[in-house]
Structure 1
Amino acid sequence: MSKSVETRAALIGAAIATVTIAGIGLSLSATLIAVRLAEAHYSARTIGLHPAASGLVGLAIAPLVPWLARLIGIRPLLIAALLLAAACLAGLAYTDGYWPWLAVRSVYGIALTILFILGEFWISAVVWPKRRGLVMGIYTTAIATGFAAGPFVLAAMGSKGSAPFLLAALLSLVAILPIGLIRAATPVLKNPEPLPFLAILRDAPPATAAALLYGAIEASAFALLPVFALREGWGAAAAAAATAIFALGNALFQIPTGWAADRFGRRRLLILIGGLGAAGALVLPLAARSYAAYVVLLFVWSGIVGGLYAVGLTRLASRYSDAALARANAAYILLYTGGTLVGPPIFGFGLDLAPAGLFVALALALGGFFALALKPDAHP
């Protein structure tokens, strides 16, 4: 293995490790807040507005991240974001109630937006072009594994007390180590050429729509799947476990999905994900008559729809390089964040109408994406 390849692998591994460790704390805290608010008898729509606040702040900060990275540097800005994340998660441990948590979680959204934009730019900037899909599959596998670990940890610890929030804060501090200790030169963000947001949307509509839809689905899963499980009478531990299984299915399907994206075409794969995802969403409420059947189908369904993010990002990243890639990454995160903003309230409204309403709304969204992906464009 050449030194160049070793250096790239080390840089990629450091970025993946950092974002994954931070993701454990994110999913743990998101599931914990959803469970506590549901136990306090807030409606699904009201609970869905909670992650939307974080998404709204993310929408505001995302366009500024490339500028901040040029000003401060990518590594220092990532470390600052993780320190802010740790402070916010510790703050959640020492506050209580819907509105105090909403305020702290909104600031937490700043840290998360910086973390994901720069983490994904870091990887995209150093990855081998012919292995982009596979590496992005490994990245999203690691992230989804981290997201799965959080609810499992919560199920083991229980949802009472401040310890889960403090553990999440500690994980954000630990996440500094991989990028802080690596000696290889990190990517440098140069002054970008103008790349208007609308031009990115026009260049790759299915890829950008994949970010929006995935953000909506993922945020809704962590906010609303626990609510659905509690309303089915399964209890807090079973609700956390089902949410963890959603994240685990997402994790285990990512590498095969990335491999398939490199070999069979990203557009074809996005079409397949949209169609199968819509069909699976319609079957899920029928499977919920049995907890075991529900979690098995949820595992498979999450693995399918989880491919939206990696395949969409791979398709978008293949179009750009250098500074333009950073701007495209920021736009992708902006759309993902927009999905986290609008998804939980909309899907939460469906859940308030009827338990199956959550999954009908998900099926309609995935069906719309399927129709969009069917339209041909200039890029494979």
Structure 2
Amino acid sequence: MIAVIGSAWALFLGMGLLMVGNGMQGTLLGIRGEIEGFSTFEMSFVMAAYFAGFLGGSQLAPEMIRRVGHVRVFAALASFISAVLILFPSVTEPWAWILLRIIIGFCFSGVYVTAESWLNNATTVETRGQALSVYMIVQMGGIVAAQSLVAVGDPSGFLLFVIPSVLVSLSFAPILLSIAPTPPFETTKPMSLARLFRLSPLGCVGMFLTGGMYAAQFGMASVYATQAGLTVPQISSFIGAIFLGGLIFQYPVGWLSDRLDRRVLILGCSIFGTIVCAFGVILPASFAVVATIGFLTGGMVNPLYALLIAHTADHLDYEDMSAASGGLIFMNGLGAIAGPVAIGGLMTAVGPSGFWLFVTALLALLSAYAAFRMTRRPAPSVDETGAYVSLTPSVSTVGVVAGAEWAEAQQEEDAAAS
């Protein structure tokens, strides 16, 4: 592990600062939108715009990198992100925020593609699993740490927007000044969604539903908490609890994933999450209640992304996983775009509890579909499945493919040892 960190410390440091900046702006906009008088439905489009840009970036960034190289793309996207963060408090109109969120989502997507390409190049197949684990800890830890900074300033002013802008600017320094060579980059022809659905129906449907859940956490949680009457420190603690739960539960879920039918685990996480979120609908929105529910919900929802990718990989030949990853991320992105708008409509109709009602409904749908798929075909033998790799919805196709490559190597190693 020490050798892995030493070989890519500049990337981990840079990504940590970047995720602090990204985590701050996601929470801060929900609070500032309320101060500016934006309606819940308007804010839902603002939050959805990030995921629209992110999906566009995941499709276009690989070709940009192939044409002009990692360094130029990295530097260009860095300047856009830093500028956009400063513009949010300067142009307080919903249409302007929607445009800025599209830009920032596109840029962050490109940054992730670039960073994960570097990480892939800096590690071997044997160390890639550890490197991806550290990378995901840095990502989730950065978002959690960001919430403590949100509570130190006045969200109606400029300072809290300047801080993430500075952090994002600083995040690129250790990466761009690193002496590590930039890796080659190859694009892969994607698999058609129809073929992907035939190979893994649960993977496709699950990724779409999980996209809506993740968008609820990353996009609309601060809007919900503001509408529920929580204070700024309570809002930041609530969002921190969601991602802390996701970080803590990744590893026990991953341990179980390598020992059980993954559909059983997907079903179990979904049912437990459904029950937990239902309490959010019926219980009063006190801080203790929402923080506890947020922690448990984050712990169930965030590992589902990696579980669904691992489940899909179990039904594909290794050489197909690279092409399939683009389709999985596309389905997740569609769900993430639709999620905030649906939540905004529900919260407008029934109040803040519409946030939990939406997540409850998605988890219930995933539970039902996972149970249905378990009746359609037998599970592969545990000995024939690849290893679980901790991945979050912010990972690009590069990270998914790198994880699949490591899982395949682990499977071959285990088969040789047995």
TM-score category of the 2 structures, normalised to the smaller one: 0.7 to 0.9
Alpha-carbon distance, 1:11 to partner: 5.6
- Indicate how the Cα distance of structure 1 residues 277 and 194 shifts in structure 2: closer, same or farther if over 3 A, else same: closer
Alpha-carbon distance, 1:149 to partner: 2.2
- Indicate how the Cα distance of structure 1 residues 94 and 45 shifts in structure 2: closer, same or farther if over 3 A, else same: closer
* Structure 1 position 161 matched with structure 2 position 157: yes
Q: What is residue 34 of structure 1 aligned with on the other side? A: 30
Alpha-carbon distance, 1:215 to partner: 2.9
Instruction: In structure 2, give the amino acid aligned to 1:366.
Output: L
Using the alignment, how far apart are the partners of 1:303 and 1:288 within structure 2? Answer: 21
* Structure 1 position 334 matched with structure 2 position 330: yes
| Residues 278 and 366, structure 1, Cα contact 8 Å, conserved in 2 | yes
Q: What is residue 72 of structure 1 aligned with on the other side? A: 68
Alpha-carbon distance, 1:261 to partner: 3.1
| Residues 48 and 338, structure 2, Cα contact 8 Å, conserved in 1 | yes
More moved, 209-218 vs 245-254: 209-218
Helix, strand or coil at the partner of 1:306: helix
Using the alignment, how far apart are the partners of 2:291 and 2:232 within structure 1? Answer: 15
The share of aligned pairs that are identical, in percent, is 22
* Structure 1 position 260 matched with structure 2 position 256: yes
Aligned length: 375
Aligned with residue 150 of structure 1, among 146, 150, 174: 146
Q: What is residue 354 of structure 2 aligned with on the other side? A: 357
More helix by share: 1
Using the alignment, how far apart are the partners of 1:267 and 1:15 within structure 2? Answer: 34
| Residues 246 and 298, structure 2, Cα contact 8 Å, conserved in 1 | yes
Structure 2: segments with no counterpart, 5+ residues: 386-418
- Indicate how the Cα distance of structure 1 residues 199 and 9 shifts in structure 2: closer, same or farther if over 3 A, else same: farther
| Residues 214 and 301, structure 2, Cα contact 8 Å, conserved in 1 | no
Alpha-carbon distance, 1:282 to partner: 0.5
Instruction: In structure 1, give the amino acid aligned to 2:246.
Output: N
More moved, 193-202 vs 279-288: 193-202
- Indicate how the Cα distance of structure 1 residues 115 and 336 shifts in structure 2: closer, same or farther if over 3 A, else same: farther
Query: Can you list the C-alpha shifts for 1:232-280, whole angstroms capped at 9, x where unaligned?
Result: 3333332233222222222222233334334445443322222211121
Q: What is residue 196 of structure 1 aligned with on the other side? A: 192
Larger relative contact order (Cα-Cα within 8 Å, sequence gap ≥ 6): 1
Structure 1: segments with no counterpart, 5+ residues: none
| Residues 38 and 94, structure 2, Cα contact 8 Å, conserved in 1 | no
Aligned with residue 83 of structure 1, among 79, 82, 106: 79
Alpha-carbon distance, 1:128 to partner: 6.7
| Residues 66 and 330, structure 1, Cα contact 8 Å, conserved in 2 | no
Helix, strand or coil at the partner of 1:188: coil
| Residues 219 and 340, structure 1, Cα contact 8 Å, conserved in 2 | yes
Using the alignment, how far apart are the partners of 2:194 and 2:176 within structure 1? Answer: 35
Query: Can you list the C-alpha shifts for 1:172-200, whole angstroms capped at 9, x where unaligned?
Result: 12221343244444543235355334434
Using the alignment, how far apart are the partners of 1:50 and 1:331 within structure 2? Answer: 25
Query: Can you list the C-alpha shifts for 1:110-137, whole angstroms capped at 9, x where unaligned?
Result: 1022123444555567777688776555
- Indicate how the Cα distance of structure 1 residues 186 and 113 shifts in structure 2: closer, same or farther if over 3 A, else same: same
Helix, strand or coil at the partner of 2:46: helix
**C-alpha RMSD of the superposition:** 3.2
TM-score normalised over the length of structure 1: 0.84
Using the alignment, how far apart are the partners of 2:257 and 2:123 within structure 1? Answer: 15
Using the alignment, how far apart are the partners of 1:262 and 1:135 within structure 2? Answer: 19
Helix, strand or coil at the partner of 1:157: coil
Using the alignment, how far apart are the partners of 2:176 and 2:31 within structure 1? Answer: 34
- Indicate how the Cα distance of structure 1 residues 13 and 83 shifts in structure 2: closer, same or farther if over 3 A, else same: same
Query: Can you list the C-alpha shifts for 1:75-108, whole angstroms capped at 9, x where unaligned?
Result: 5433432332122212224332322222222211
Aligned with residue 279 of structure 1, among 275, 281, 289: 275
Using the alignment, how far apart are the partners of 1:187 and 1:304 within structure 2? Answer: 35
Aligned with residue 225 of structure 1, among 221, 224, 243: 221
| Residues 274 and 369, structure 1, Cα contact 8 Å, conserved in 2 | yes
More moved, 128-137 vs 212-221: 128-137
- Indicate how the Cα distance of structure 1 residues 31 and 196 shifts in structure 2: closer, same or farther if over 3 A, else same: same
Helix, strand or coil at the partner of 2:229: coil
Helix, strand or coil at the partner of 1:234: coil
Alpha-carbon distance, 1:367 to partner: 1.4
The aligned runs of 1:49-128 (5 Å cut-off) are 49-120=45-116, 123=119
Helix, strand or coil at the partner of 1:177: helix
| Residues 53 and 102, structure 2, Cα contact 8 Å, conserved in 1 | yes
* Structure 1 position 302 matched with structure 2 position 294: no
Helix, strand or coil at the partner of 2:152: helix
Helix, strand or coil at the partner of 2:239: helix
Q: What is residue 180 of structure 1 aligned with on the other side? A: 176
Q: What is residue 202 of structure 2 aligned with on the other side? A: 206
Q: What is residue 364 of structure 2 aligned with on the other side? A: 367
Helix, strand or coil at the partner of 1:175: helix
Q: What is residue 347 of structure 1 aligned with on the other side? A: 343
Q: What is residue 242 of structure 1 aligned with on the other side? A: 238
Using the alignment, how far apart are the partners of 1:121 and 1:343 within structure 2? Answer: 29
Query: Can you list the C-alpha shifts for 1:326-346, whole angstroms capped at 9, x where unaligned?
Result: 554443433333222110110
Using the alignment, how far apart are the partners of 1:301 and 1:218 within structure 2? Answer: 11
Aligned with residue 270 of structure 1, among 254, 263, 266: 266
Using the alignment, how far apart are the partners of 1:61 and 1:312 within structure 2? Answer: 22
- Indicate how the Cα distance of structure 1 residues 194 and 108 shifts in structure 2: closer, same or farther if over 3 A, else same: closer
Using the alignment, how far apart are the partners of 2:254 and 2:349 within structure 1? Answer: 37
Aligned with residue 17 of structure 2, among 8, 21, 25: 21
